Structure 1
Amino acid sequence: MTTTQNFTYKSHQTVSTLGATIKTDVRLIVLSVLLELVIFIIDINIPLGFAGGVPYVSLVLLSLFSPRIGMAYIMAAAGSFLTVVGYVLSSSGGLAYIVLLNRGLALTMIWITAILVHRYRSAIEAAKIAEEALRKKEMKNAFSKLNAQNRQVVQIEKLSSLGLMIGEIAHQINNPLVGVVNMAQLALREKNISADTKELLEDIQNAGEDCRDFLHQMMEFTKISCFDRKLTEIQSVIEEAIDLCKHSAKMPLSIKAELPKAPVYLEVDPILIRHALFNLISNAMQADENGAITVRLRSHLREGDEKSGWALLVEDKGPGISEEHIEKIFVPFFTTRTKGTGLGLPLVQHVAILHGGEVSVKNLPEGGAQFTFWLPG
């Protein structure tokens, strides 16, 4: 719906509501005038000793049907005025103090009723406003959840298509590449080769192995379309990923793990989660030359729909991520490193989406970056 159409719709809605309010007020006024006239005629035709003003309470009660909350006080004012006029125009009768007492009681009843009606109407209106606010919030959350799910579906379809394409390309390249690397290795075993030839063969072997590693990472996309979800203690998966990173690190690595003492069980594929966490820690290792990394597991409500779950936080003390790159960091093949493939973080995002979760990144005020890998549970 365009802005103009939305404005026109709201204008028609406002006019319709205003028209209904005016019709209700006109009917109520006509009925009130008739009721006032009947009560007033009765009041002036009975002696002053009777509490002729009490029936005006019905006027106040009639305001319950008005769309205007303040109508109770208007009716009370009208009833009070007619009570006084009725006192002046009624024939004398009864003791003076009884007459004044009856009129005073009538006025008191009119205004007490008006106050009660007004408070009742105010409470109903407040409840309506609260209900409407709650309904809007629920609708907003529902739309946010639906949009998030749609984005996840689109992302899964994109990555699945990309995975199929990558798998086919990698398969076609891998076989001849293995042959090239093997031939280079066999040639290096020959004893009667010159130093220049040996250096050239080593370059071929190293380049081939780098290309093979790149293809291996590309093939990971074809392996995560299907996964085996089962109840898993997440702390053990985190510790396994940390151990793998320590063993593969080429420098001293300090990883601080802050995990809940009580076991946390989630319905996940432990292999995929371990692989995703391994990629996050490896990414932090490359960002922080000192190797000071913190891994945390926290109970966390997802923003937007406040769904309960657990967040795996991976923090480093590196330079952080530039604003220019932070928006592209999960795009496949985007990398700022000379030897990077640009597939590690997209793979992490794919694993998160497959589990109904999400991954995000932000720069920390004290320096470094923080990746949040959120899983429902």
Structure 2
Amino acid sequence: MKAYPDTLLIFLSASVFLILLLAVLVFLPRLIRKKEPAKERTIETDSVVGAFHALGTEIRSLKEQLITRERLAAIGEVSAGIAHEFRNPMGVIAGYAKLLLKSFEDSDGRKESALGILKEIEEMNIVMEELLQFSNPGSLKKTNINLTNTINDMLEGMGDEAARSIDFSRSDIIEIKADETLLKQALKNLIRNALDAGDPILKKIWINIEGGSSSGKDGVFIFIRDNGKGIAETDIDKIFMPFYTTKERGAGIGLALVQKIAMGHGGNVSVESREGEGSTFRLFLPND
């Protein structure tokens, strides 16, 4: 698993060296010409420095993405192992609890305990499903989709709370190439996260789509903004880490899965938030 990132980093380093060498061969003779005006030499120097700065920024971004991919892949393998190890014992416990439930009379106080066991097993099954989704979200099957229709279809299946709380008024055709199933999963996770974080009295979520570019790629940004309490500054760098959560329930997989799906599409996900002012998640998907 480490061989691929290391090979790509070596390739990137070699490419940078060759570009630097080429730049020296091309621009150095021009920069040392004494007859040329100083202003022209300054412009050429600034141009070279600017190009190297942009190249360095892009390489740092690629390196961070490679490290993130490697970390997510390793955690995904661990998640799958944990899920498989726990599911069988949980199934046995649930089976015995159901047998106990059938054997108790309605007036028997132990029936409530059996129901409590089944409820906890159900909660654990949800966590196990999240772990399995994270370990293997599925291979990408990109097709041409109308992003507006995809979002509307997804919202229709999210229940009354989402219908009351979400403001999404786009009706124009926005065509992109993406895996519609995985994209819906990522958007659902972001919206559920926004619903959990929203104002408990008057939850409000705004969804918007804008064209733009990221890391040199043209594409679309999907913005999901809530009116919740915001994210603490100490937490904002951790929220995409697998198993990190501030909620009482859940395994902390939802946002990590969003990041994995975004990177699988060649995109990214980020967040802007201030305590007391809500949060805005930004999902970028490239056109290609």
Q: TM-score range by the shorter chain?
A: 0.7 to 0.9
- Per-residue CA deviations over 1:287-316 (Å, capped at 9, x if unaligned) read 1122210011111232xx453221110000
Give me the CA root mean square deviation.
2.6
* Maintained 8 Å contact 1:231/1:267: yes
Q: Does 1:301 align with 2:213?
A: yes
- Per-residue CA deviations over 1:25-51 (Å, capped at 9, x if unaligned) read xxxxxxxxxxxxxxxxxxxxxxxxxxx
Q: Does 1:67 align with 2:18?
A: no
Query: What code does the residue aligned with 1:179 have?
Result: V
State the shift of 1:367 in Å. Answer: 1.7
Q: TM-score, length-normalised on structure 1? A: 0.62
- C-alpha distance in 2, partners of 1:229/1:135? 38
Q: TM-score, length-normalised on structure 2? A: 0.80
Select 1:241's aligned residue among 137, 151, 154: 154
Rg comparison, structure with higher value: 1
Decide which moves more: 163-172 or 185-194: 185-194
Aligned twin of 2:228: 318
Select 2:124's aligned residue among 211, 215, 224: 211
State the shift of 1:239 in Å. Answer: 1.6
Q: How does 1:34-183 map to 2 (within 5 A)?
A: 67=34, 121-122=36-37, 125-183=38-96
Higher helix share: 1
* Maintained 8 Å contact 1:287/1:318: yes
Identity across aligned pairs (percent)?
26
Give the SS at the match of 1:325: coil
* Maintained 8 Å contact 2:79/2:131: yes
Q: Does 1:224 align with 2:137?
A: yes
- C-alpha distance in 2, partners of 1:131/1:224? 48
Change (3 A) 1:133 1:345: same
- C-alpha distance in 2, partners of 1:161/1:366? 35
- Per-residue CA deviations over 1:148-194 (Å, capped at 9, x if unaligned) read 22221221121111111111221121122122113212321234376
State the shift of 1:334 in Å. Answer: 0.9
- C-alpha distance in 2, partners of 1:244/1:196? 38
Give the SS at the match of 1:367: coil
Change (3 A) 1:244 1:291: farther
Give the SS at the match of 1:310: strand
- Per-residue CA deviations over 1:260-284 (Å, capped at 9, x if unaligned) read 62x2222211111110000000000
Give the SS at the match of 2:228: coil
Select 2:263's aligned residue among 353, 362, 371: 353
Aligned residue pairs total: 257
Q: Where does structure 2 lack aligned partners over 5 or more consecutive residues?
A: 1-27
Change (3 A) 1:260 1:299: farther
Q: How does 1:177-192 map to 2 (within 5 A)?
A: 177-192=90-105
